[in-house]
Amino acid sequence: MVWQSAADFWAMGGYGLYVWGSFGATALGVALEVWLLGRGQRAGIKQLQRMQRWEAE
């Protein structure tokens, strides 16, 4: 596709809201997934550390 201006690019032939909304929702979903994975990993490590301390007693 060829756009005559930056505004035409952002409008995406009238589908800009759908295109950029979908892109934004996907980016938000990926960022949320990465954050949740990190949070789960930290919780798992803390649980393992507690279990190791418990077994050492």
Confidence check: pLDDT of 3 > 80: no
* pTM, full prediction: 0.72
Which pLDDT does position 41 carry in this prediction? 98
Taking only the tens place, the pLDDT of each residue in 5-42 is 999 888 888 899 999 999 999 999 999 999 999 999 99
Does the pLDDT value for residue 1 go beyond 80?
A: no
Structure tokens at 52: 């190791």
Q: How far is CA 53 from CA 27, 47, 50, 57, in A?
A: 39, 10, 5, 7
